[in-house]
Amino acid sequence: MLETQRSTNIELFTLAEVTDLQGYIGNFEVEILQHARYTNQDCNGCGACFDVCPANAPSEFDQGMGPRKAIYTSFAQAVPMQAQIDMDVCIKCGNCEVVCELTAVNFDQQDTKFSVKVGGIIMATGWDEYEPEYGYLGYGKFENVITQLSLERMLAPNGPVVGHLHRPSDGKPPESVLFVQCVGSRDINRNVYCSSGVCCMVSIKNAKLVKGHNPSTEVVVAYIDIRAAGKGYEEYYAASRREGVKYIRSKVGRVREDPKTGNLKVVLEDTLSPDKTIREYEFDMLVLSAAMLPSKTFGKLNKVVNLSKHSSGFLKEFHQRLNTVDTDVPGIALAGACHGPKAISETIMQAKGAASSIGKLLTNGEYRINLIRAISDEEKCSRCGMCAAACPFEAIKITREEGAVVDNILCRGCGLCAAVCPSEAITVRYYRGDQYENLIDAMLEDALKEGGHA
């Protein structure tokens, strides 16, 4: 991140969001809303204002387990290292303004909107952790049931407990921890997809870290199957077993809490034991390995960008096997978990591919398209607007003079417009009905000439 900020070829717009997108490859116009930070460029993130701020709020970065001030930096290595003020929490006491030696605090700052022209776009909107519904496996109902992201922040040296693993209920180090795999994923009632083994590897890594903190801690992983399909992953999994991490192939049947101790009693069936033993285990903590979901902010963004999505909610690639970098809109490429769940190594590879794809398009000087595009017959067109309403790419406009007018750049030739047109006024080049009829007739003629049967 620091290298990105220092590069003279990169312009960063932080605390900003895209509110509109117009144009096409080589000529996109992006409207950006820059949110007010309430501090100016003179701020160096020294933190003097944090010490005098009396208003507190839960830290989003620490998963709500620690506090932050109304004036704060997002995290220790945020770029840029400038303070920002949360006006929903700020009580406007003015202490930060008084103590700032650089006079960097500006309560009058306003949101601004501006446009930039770009030739290509790379979508890299990241992911969010699936949040189980209240009571599912005790989540939200029992204090000692947490998710992997919460555990990550606990184990981090700069986290809310400075890297010391504590139970949320009483602050004591846990003597036993159960990791539960595939929470919210591989489940027809929630998300049917697997998070590409990321949850498995994160559990193995964190299980080893818990063991490293205290080797006497009992660590158990309840799994459907361990998906360690990466270079060195299987070896890492085997190493965790050697260090004493236990694996039980089982789905959790029930979770209840001992009201006196806060311990969790969990029913598991060991499906690999000869008699498929079902028994109740007791643990100090439960860690839920939750699914990876498309970023919450992405839904709002895609109303502007209007890209195709899979049923899972992640962005759809141009081709599932042959081109997983580009989208069906020329000039827009994918990088990372906006495309689907993936590990860091795969994310880096795709990011390099996306940069290469956009760079190649922009350095060619021209972009050629196959004219498999919709065309409209002005005389047949009734101006009903059904084609424009059906078009997912907003490539059709209805005018009184010409009827349906198709933008050849925005059109992707999907044929939805032709399917809904009641007067058959709109068709797709190379895929017209009479072309198919002529092709079939020619095939039948050849068959009859060769003495075959039609």
Helix (H) / strand (E) element for 151: namely helix 148-155
pLDDT, tens digit (0-9, with 9 covering 90-100), for 113-154:
999 999 999 999 999 999 999 999 999 999 999 999 999 999
Confidence class for position 389, pLDDT limits 50, 70, 90? very high
In this predicted structure, which of 36-40, 294-298, 408-412 has the lowest mean pLDDT? 408-412
**pLDDT of res. 285:** 97
Give a yes or no: residue 70 inside a domain.
Answer: yes
State whether 113 and 145 are in the same domain. Answer: no
Residue 81's closest CA among 36, 105, 46? 46
Where residue 376 sits, what CATH number does that domain have?
A: 3.30.70.20
Task: Tell me, yes or no, whether 70 and 13 share the same domain.
Answer: yes
Cα separation of 120 and 303, whole Å?
18
Q: What is the end-to-end Cα distance of the chain in Å, rounded?
A: 67
Answer for the pair 12, 79: CB distance below 8 angstroms, yes or no.
yes
Whether residue 360 is contained in a domain is answered as no
Of the three residues 69, 87, 118, the one that is the final residue of a domain is 118
Q: Are 340 and 196 in contact (CB under 8 A)?
A: yes
Residue 191 lies in a domain: yes
* Residue 370 burial (CB count, 10 A): 8
At 452 the pLDDT is 57
In a domain, 399, yes or no: yes
Does residue 136 sit in the same domain as residue 237?
yes
The CATH number given to whatever domain includes residue 140 is 3.50.50.60
Q: How many domains does the chain have?
A: 3
Shared domain for 282 and 230, answered yes or no, is yes
Residue given tokens 């049931």 in the structure block: 145
Whose CA is closest to 426, among 392, 381, 367, 370?
A: 381
Rounded to 5°, angle at Cα 75 from 71 and 214 = 130
At 146-203, the pLDDT tens digits run 999 999 999 999 889 888 899 999 999 999 999 999 999 999 999 999 999 999 999 9
Are 24 and 149 in the same domain?
no
The answer to whether residues 69 and 173 belong to one domain is no
Alpha carbons 429 and 413: distance in angstroms, whole number? 8
167 and 288 together in one domain: yes
Pair of tokens at residue 225: 């199957």
What is the chain's mean pLDDT, rounded?
Answer: 92
Residue 118: phi and psi, rounded to 5, are: -135, 155
Q: Which of 232, 263, 292 is the last residue of a domain?
A: 292
Residue finishing a domain among 247, 265, 292: 292
Angle, CA 141 vertex, CA 137 and CA 147 arms, to 5°: 55
Q: Containing domain of residue 76, as a range?
A: 2-118
Residue 330: inside a domain, yes or no?
Answer: no
pLDDT surpasses 80 at 432: no
Helices (H), 11-102: 48-52, 95-99
d(CA 258, CA 249): 25
